[in-house]
């Protein structure tokens, strides 16, 4: 019998290390005080001790202070597969593998020298007949110091086998028989330990996080028993893919079921993204092939998030978060595909989440401000109005334009308090300009309104209260809604628009020409202004480029929309006017108002006051 460092069989490779805190115990050498009330036991003869030693069912041996077996009983010989006499004179540490582990070897020497009272440990031995044996070894000093120590060995193989079976059951999914989420994270954590990836290999790790597309529909329509059979069949194909991928390597990727219809393939010591991409491609191809489940033919697809990176500095949580995010991207991009983790895209997602979580508090903290862009009359070059544009002065990300946060505000409902603040601030500023320039015609202020503001708040009441508080005339307020939001409006939104129009507030359709363009419905809406989308105006730039001829279709389309609007009694504002040539053409076809960098970028209220003090707005006069 000898100790072995041979690795455990596949079923038991999930066992903890051979020696653990609960399996290896030592005690300092202490004397047990005898109770003064107890009487000493009757003396036993040396022959009685020897007889008990020889007949004891527990395998034992007497070992001298040098570690040599003085005598061994038959139970020890039977356990180790030898003869008792043959064990006499053997090195006890070699019999039960007490020398291969430095910690156990040191503790054993301490017991032999009398400096330690006991040693207990569990060792894995190889029997002469070839099978493996788990034993519990205990070493304790004999009553007389010069007699040495008593070595006892108990066979715990059955208990260890039961523990291994129980652990296997706890760590594996009963439906697919794959490692479950607990075992997956155990392996992932071990793979990311520095001593694991620094010892050998590439120092990199890869993960394919997989989710079946439409699996819930199969469960709901065909039943969970069919769904379970499908999961088991998917597991078999994933296992084959992993085995194929592992043929050229030391071992295949770990395939695990994380729960539901989610699976993972863990690649330790990956060689790069190309290896993970090849694995993801093979998995997609394998799963897309139809499944025949007891005569029932099913076809499914999968979405896969792929992450590959250096193991150093990576944690299991960070790796799984990246895998979850990338799987979501694969789903959002159309399913039935794999997507590689993109740090830049993830940074944008993290920024978006950070903005969403701080939007409402930012309104309360006063982190928002308004800038204003002039709306200039085409005939007189005078500022007739301004559009209020909100900016977020974020303490971390700097000044943010509306396209960075308005969508988030509409999603979580914070657009309602934000829109109410914009409305009040803009109306208050418009009234202030009116007081600062009493001799000139007052300018109107245009404020963007989201549909959710109509549904989730009483917009009519908010506008009426704001106009009363700021003493601003209703016709000096213009509310802008996008074409897609206005067209097809019914019920409460339409009622709100009519009430606002009856109040004297001007209603403008923003980005006209890019949405539904239901012209018949347009005539029934309480709208007074159309704002042509900038994409039409940009086409006019071709006239100024020698290499590109003008596009007459642009002018024809714009002219037709202007004429239609005028027939309906509406005025037209052209967005994105950047050159004097564009302004000239727009003026020629009858456009009423222009907005764009030709006149001014969005500027502070003070800059608007300066523009109002001039007789006309010159090209570029408002640029900072």
Residue 530 β-bridge partners = 509, 572
**Predicted TM-score (pTM) above 0.75:** no
Higher pLDDT, 264 or 295: 264
* H helix intervals, 192-222: 194-199, 215-222
pLDDT digits (tens, 9 = 90+) for 350-363: 888 889 999 999 99
Nearest 5°: the CA angle 521, 526, 530 is: 75
- d(Cα 134, Cα 398) in Å, to the nearest integer? 65
Please check the confidence at residue 579 and state whether its pLDDT lies above 50. Answer: yes
pLDDT in the model for residue 44: 52
DSSP character string of 12-65: GTTSPPSS-TTT-EEEE--PPPPPTTSPPPPP--HHHHHHHHHH-SSEEEEE-T
pLDDT of 451: 84
Taking the CA atoms of residue 243, residue 244, residue 246 and residue 251 in that order, the dihedral angle to the nearest 10 degrees is 20
**Which of 168-177, 417-426, 608-617 has the least mean pLDDT?**
608-617
Report pLDDT for 619.
Answer: 41
pLDDT at 417 over 90: yes
The CA distance from 531 to 570, in Å, is 10
Using pLDDT thresholds of 50, 70 and 90, give the confidence band for residue 551: low
The pLDDT assigned to 542 comes to 53
Give residue 13's pLDDT: 38
User: Most confidently modeled of 33-37, 249-253, 349-353?
Assistant: 349-353
| The pLDDT of residue 545 is above 70 | no
Q: Residues 448-462: pLDDT tens digits? A: 999 888 888 899 999
**pLDDT band (50, 70, 90) for residue 18:** very low
CA dist., res. 342 & res. 334, Å (int): 17
């Amino acid at each position: 019998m000898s100790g072995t460092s041979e690795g455990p069989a596949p079923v038991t490779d999930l066992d903890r290390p051979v020696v653990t805190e609960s399996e290896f115990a030592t005690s300092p050498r202490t004397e047990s005080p005898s109770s003064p009330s107890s009487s000493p036991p009757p003396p036993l003869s040396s022959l009685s001790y020897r007889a008990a030693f020889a007949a004891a069912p527990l395998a034992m041996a007497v070992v001298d202070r040098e570690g040599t077996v003085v005598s061994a009983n038959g139970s020890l010989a039977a356990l180790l597969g030898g003869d008792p006499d043959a064990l006499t004179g053997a090195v006890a540490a070699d019999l039960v593998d007490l020398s291969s582990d430095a910690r156990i070897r040191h503790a054993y020497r301490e017991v032999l020298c009398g400096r330690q009272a006991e040693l207990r440990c569990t060792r894995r031995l190889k029997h002469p007949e070839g099978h493996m044996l788990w034993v519990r070894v205990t070493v304790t000093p004999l009553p007389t110091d010069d007699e040495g120590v008593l070595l006892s060995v108990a066979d715990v193989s059955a208990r260890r086998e039961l523990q291994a079976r129980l652990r296997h059951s706890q760590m594996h999914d009963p439906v697919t028989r794959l490692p479950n989420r607990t075992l997956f994270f155990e392996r992932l954590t071990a793979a990311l330990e520095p001593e694991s990836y620094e010892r050998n290999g590439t120092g990199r790790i890869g993960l394919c996080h997989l989710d079946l597309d439409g699996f819930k529909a199969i469960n709901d329509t065909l039943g969970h028993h069919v769904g379970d059979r499908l999961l088991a069949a998917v597991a078999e194909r994933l296992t084959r893919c992993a085995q194929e991928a592992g043929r050229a390597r030391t071992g295949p990727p770990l395939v695990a079921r994380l729960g539901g219809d989610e699976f993972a393939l863990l690649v330790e010591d990956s060689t790069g993204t190309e290896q993970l991409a090849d694995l993801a491609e093979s998995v997609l191809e394998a799963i897309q092939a139809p499944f025949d489940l007891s005569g029932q033919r099913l076809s499914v697809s999968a979405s896969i998030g792929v992450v590959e990176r250096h193991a150093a500095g990576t944690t299991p949580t960070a790796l799984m978060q990246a895998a979850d995010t990338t799987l979501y991207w694969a789903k959002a991009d159309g399913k039935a595909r794999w997507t590689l983790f993109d740090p830049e895209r993830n940074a944008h997602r993290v920024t978006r989440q950070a903005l969403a979580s701080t939007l409402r508090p930012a309104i309360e903290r006063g982190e928002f401000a308004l800038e204003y862009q002039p709306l200039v009359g085409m005939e007189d070059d005078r500022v007739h109005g301004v559009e209020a544009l909100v900016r977020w002065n974020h303490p971390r990300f700097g000044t943010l334009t509306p396209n960075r946060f308005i969508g988030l505000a509409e999603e979580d409902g914070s657009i309602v308090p934000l829109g109410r603040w914009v409305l009040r601030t803009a109306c208050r500023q418009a009234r202030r300009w009116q007081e600062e320039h009493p001799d000139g015609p007052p300018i109107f202020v245009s404020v963007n309104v989201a549909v959710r503001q109509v549904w989730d708040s009483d917009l009519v009441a908010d506008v009426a209260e704001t106009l009363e508080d700021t003493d601003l005339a209703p016709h000096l307020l213009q509310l802008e809604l996008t074409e897609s939001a206005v067209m097809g409006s019914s019920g409460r939104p339409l009622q709100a628009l009519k009430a606002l129009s009856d109040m004297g507030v001007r209603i403008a359709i923003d980005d006209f020409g890019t949405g539904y363009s239901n012209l018949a419905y347009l005539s029934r809406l309480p709208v007074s202004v159309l704002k042509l989308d900038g994409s039409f105006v940009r086409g006019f730039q071709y006239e100024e480029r020698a290499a590109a001829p003008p596009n007459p279709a642009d002018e024809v389309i714009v002219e037709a929309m202007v004429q239609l609007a005028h027939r309906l009694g509406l005025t037209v504002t052209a967005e994105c006017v950047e050159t004097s040539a564009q302004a000239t053409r727009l003026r020629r076809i009858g456009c009423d108002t222009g907005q764009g960098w030709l006149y001014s970028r969005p500027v502070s209220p003070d800059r608007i006051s300066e523009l109002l003090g001039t007789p006309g707005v010159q090209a570029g006069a408002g640029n900072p």
